[in-house]
Amino acid sequence: MDEPIQVLAGTGGVALGEARTNHDGRKAVLLHRDGNPSELIALAETMGIEILDVQYQKGSEDPRSYFGKGRLQDVADEISSAVEGHPWHGVDLVIIHSNASPRQLVNVHESVQVEVWDRVRLLLSLFISHAGSVEARTQVRIAQLLADRSVLRELVNQQTTGERAGFGGAGQQGIRGVLETVSRELTQLRRKQRKHALARSERRRQRTRGGARTVGLAGYTNAGKSSLFLALSGKQVLVEDKLFSTLETTVGRMEMSPRILLADTIGFIDELPSDLLDAFHATLDESLQCDLLLLVVDSSDEPAEFKRKLSTTRREVLERGDESGMNIKVVLTKSDLGGNIESAIKTVNSMGMTNPLVVSSHDGQGMDELRESIMYSLYGPKTTLVVSKGDDDERSAEAYVSQIYDLGIVTEKNGLELTLWCGKAEMMKLISKSNGRISIK
């Protein structure tokens, strides 16, 4: 390619070398048609982007350019003439409040002449800036390249059909070259991703080999998953009042029992394109393939928001797993914030799910009940085992007692009588190997 292609709508990494990852301090204008823009504004703010203005146009999207031609031209004029002192001064980004088509992205960019993002590109940029591990970066890069490829294809398409003569000095051949590079990089990244996924499943196999049970956490972004994980495991994870603080799965052991593993993971959000979430499937699976899944929902949200976020979470989880085999429990977090718990419980019930647990990771409210409920879900009711004294020359009773401690979580001990949560199969195995010294009360 002789000349570099100028900034394409969201093709950052493809045409311009490394994409910029820090967007702190940028100023943007949001184009909005339907839905509530507050979540997108919060996403932008999470990245330090200031939305200076929300431009609204009534009616349905223009399939060519999202806004109608005239209105878009007004926005473009305003941006180009925003001298110092103008409220739009410094705007170098236009954000479209929807998952725009490649055609819309390309056309809006052509008109406004600054970088253009839609919801997908905003999420991608956020993910890129939060991706800490090599695996997370690989996953985000795949998603980004897939999004870029769709824009590049649109450019080629527009040139082929004669809608466009050339683009930024690069002809069709130039773009085709970029497309080939993208495809090659995608192949390499996917190979890398498969390796990561394999390593992940091997680690999971090793962890659960000794009969450990896993509890996954799933929920809308910012619901309080990492805080709950920290409260239950004591293991430090990133907790922030930001959307998508967590991008990778962290596994930790529950404080009261090293045999129970907890998995904190990436959150969900509405209308996340499946390409994007699919890039994270290995990460998500680690949390979703579990013996018990806790659906974490923020009880301090307004009832309508609460319902929306719970539906999204439930849908994503069910789409990704085998519903019949899933053991799911809803946990309402942030109970200390005084949300409408009653209405939240009704909403949970109205979706056909049993009564949720109500907890606060901050003041500990409901945490004992949650721990109890986790145990019950994993192990069923508690069992009381009795160790007989035996004759003097036999193995000491204490040796059996210590084996029982290894078996599960002992909650009560009265001499040689122990009450505990434990896996029934493992328990029967221990009893059968005890020469009649251990029995169920």
Ligand X SMILES: Nc1nc2c(ncn2[C@@H]2O[C@H](COP(=O)(O)OP(=O)(O)OP(=O)(O)O)[C@@H](O)[C@H]2O)c(=O)[nH]1
Q: Which residues bind ligand X (CB under 6 A)?
A: 219, 221-227, 239-246, 267, 333-334, 336-337, 360-362
Question: Can you read off the two tokens belonging to residue 294?
Answer: 């806790």
How many residues contact Mg ion, by CB under 5 A?
A: 3
CB of 302 to ligand X, least distance (A): 16
Q: Parallel, antiparallel, or unpaired: how do β-strands 357-358 and 417-421 relate?
A: unpaired
Closest to Mg ion by CB, 96 vs 128, is: 128
**Which CB, 368 or 412, lies closer to ligand X?**
368
Q: Which is nearer to ligand X, 219 or 408 (CB)?
A: 219
Q: How far is the CB of 245 from Mg ion (least distance, A)?
A: 5
Q: Which stretch binds Mg ion (CB under 5 A): 176-184, 239-247, 268-276, 277-285?
A: 239-247
How long is the chain?
441
* Strands of 112-210, DSSP E: 115-117
In the complex, least distance from residue 248 CB atom to Mg ion, rounded to whole angstroms: 10
Quote the least distance from Cβ 380 to ligand X, whole Å. Answer: 29
Residue 278 corresponds to which tokens in the numbers above? 């699919």
Smaller CB distance to Mg ion: residue 39 or 148? Answer: 39
**What amino acid is encoded at 18 in this protein?**
E
DSSP letter at 170 equals B
Q: In terms of CB distance, is 240 or 271 closer to ligand X?
A: 240
Q: In 132-149, which positions are buried (b, 16+ CB within 10 angstroms) versus exposed (e)? A: eeebbbbbbbbbbbbbbb
Choose from Mg ion, ligand X, none: what does 253 bind? Cβ within 5-8 Å by kind.
none
Q: Are strands 91-96 and 115-117 parallel, antiparallel or unpaired?
A: parallel
Q: Enumerate residues 6+ apart whose C-beta is below 8 A from 45.
A: 51
Residues 240-279 that bind Mg ion (CB under 5 A): 245-246
Q: Considering the complex, what minimum distance in angstroms separates the CB of residue 230 from ligand X?
A: 7
Spatial distance between the Cα atoms of 366 and 364, rounded to a whole number of angstroms: 6
Backbone angles phi, psi at 177, to 5 degrees: -60, -45
Please check whether residue 150 is in contact with residue 100, taking contact to mean a CB–CB distance below 8 angstroms.
no
Of Mg ion, ligand X, none, which one does residue 318 interact with (CB within 5 to 8 Å by kind)?
Answer: none
Quote the least distance from Cβ 341 to ligand X, whole Å: 13
CB-CB contact of 203 with 286 (8 Å): no
Stretch that binds Mg ion, among 1-9, 219-227, 298-306, 392-400 (CB under 5 A): 219-227
The answer to whether 239 and 226 have CB atoms below 8 angstroms apart is: yes
Which of the listed partners (ligand X, Mg ion, none) does 11 bind, with a CB threshold of 5 to 8 Å by partner kind?
Answer: none
- Element housing 417 (H / E): strand 417-421
| Closer residue to Mg ion in complex, CB, 164/242 | 242
223 binds, among Mg ion, ligand X, none (CB under 5 to 8 A by kind): ligand X
Asked if 227 touches Mg ion (CB under 5 A), the answer is: no
Q: Which does 224 bind (CB under 5 to 8 A by kind): Mg ion, ligand X, none?
A: ligand X
- Shortest gap between Cβ of 246 and Mg ion (angstroms)? 3
Q: Which is nearer to ligand X, 117 or 244 (CB)?
A: 244
What is residue 28's three-state secondary structure?
Answer: strand
3-class secondary-structure state, position 435: coil
Count of C-beta atoms within a 10 Å radius of residue 337: 12
Query: Which residues are CB-contacts of 345 (< 8 A; sequence separation ≥ 6)?
Result: 332, 355, 356, 358
Which one of 65, 214, 226, 383 is in contact with Mg ion (CB under 5 A)? Answer: 226
Cβ-based nearer residue to Mg ion, 111 or 245: 245
What residues make contact with Mg ion under the rule CB under 5 A?
226, 245-246
